[in-house]
Amino acid sequence: MLPAGRFERLLFDQFPGIVNDLSPVSHAISIHDLRGIFSVYLDQRVKVGWIRLFGVRFSRLLMVAAVGALTALLVGGYVGVRVYTDAIVDPLAPADAIIVLGGEHDGREDYGFELARQGVARNVVLSDPYGPNDRTMARYCETEDARFDVICVPPTPANTRGEAMITRSLAVQHGWNKILVISWRYHLPRARYIFSNCFGGEIAMRPVPREYDYGPAYWGYVYLYQSAGFVKAFIQRGC
């Protein structure tokens, strides 16, 4: 048996923190009681140690994840600006046909007609994936001008690859060797890649002449969407 006073002094010397958890002991403590007290105390210390260790590691993981996300955002933004915002634009030159790709009615159809009136081409192909209820597209398809012919075609499938396939068929039918493709600037690199896999002639790319006032989050979506489309086109390769 250990007298209570000697036991408390022993604990205070070896484990000072445990004294605060003990009420004054006025009776003798057995070896069995001593083992139980030590077991509970050590279990608590181990749990506290693991919690602290997990907290430190979790904090480090959060910091690493935050730094990684910020780095990916900066790198993705830089690549997006270089590839899409600063996309290569070809100079204007005579072509057999002007191909206006589908998308927003953001002035692309009017730009195609304007270039045709300037004598760039005598054929304007309007991609029409919008369906019969799009009155704006119906108006463009009804355009009549002695300086050029308007051809409206629904692409199958209704995407850039379908537009390239339609263009290839029309080129074979009409003997076209050079085309000028119009889309919004951020689509030009991917469209150029897809058309180069489908059309064997000369391709020039021109953006819709307008500015787009979007926030950083939307631009991030645009860069991601175009990049995902690039991956898909690379997997599909030819028409």
pLDDT at 94: 97
Q: What is the pLDDT of residue 218?
A: 85
Q: Helices then strands (H, E): number in the chain? A: 8, 5
pLDDT at 81: 66
* Section 82-101 average pLDDT: 90
DSSP letter, residue 190:
H
Query: Cis link prior to 157 (omega < 30° from 0)?
Result: yes
pLDDT confidence of residue 144: 95
Tens of pLDDT, residues 15-37: 455 445 544 444 445 555 555 55
Q: What is the pLDDT of residues 25-72, one digit of tens each?
A: 444 455 555 555 555 555 555 555 555 655 556 666 666 666 555 555
Portion of the chain with pLDDT greater than 90, in percent: 50
Beta bridge partners of 188: none
Inter-residue contact 90 to 205 (CB < 8 Å) = yes
Task: Burial-class residue 121 by CB neighbours within 10 Å (0-12, 13-18, 19+).
Answer: buried
Looking at every residue in the chain, the average pLDDT score rounds to 80
pLDDT of the residue at 3: 47
